[in-house]
Amino acid sequence: MGMSTSGFEVLGEFSTKVYVNKFLGQSGGTNLLNLSSNATTGPIRDAIEKEIQKKGGTAAIYVSIKYGSNPLQWFANYFTFNIWAPATVTISGTIIRQN
């Protein structure tokens, strides 16, 4: 994510977790008619941007995104009759600065 990656210096690795909320579906799974499928896009982009700024970089490469849920989120989903579907997104990658 960022600008062209030719001629760069590696500043370090990052790994962060973001908690997201989807609706009408399963925690860490699908949701009805994909109504809230974009609920993760903004928080993920924001988390990556914060990590880039924190290390003083200009871009992130080799970004890995894992989407899932834990037992607490399953119970929240169950007790709201699958209306609220909280989940966890784990993001990792490498921060670079372009020369």
* pLDDT tens-digit map of 32-85: 655 556 667 788 999 999 999 999 999 999 999 998 999 999 999 999 988 888
Cα–Cα distance between 20 and 43 in angstroms, integer? 7
pLDDT-based confidence at 99, cuts 50/70/90?
A: confident
| pLDDT for residue 23 | 81
Parallel, antiparallel, or unpaired for β 59-68 and 8-23?
A: unpaired
Please, what are the domains in the chain?
8-98 (3.30.110)
Rounded Cα distance, 34 and 12, in Å: 35
Residue 5 predicted with pLDDT over 60: no
Instruction: Say how far apart CA 17 and CA 90 lie, in whole Å.
Output: 4
Residue 28 has pLDDT above 90, yes or no: no
Residue 41 has what pLDDT?
Answer: 79
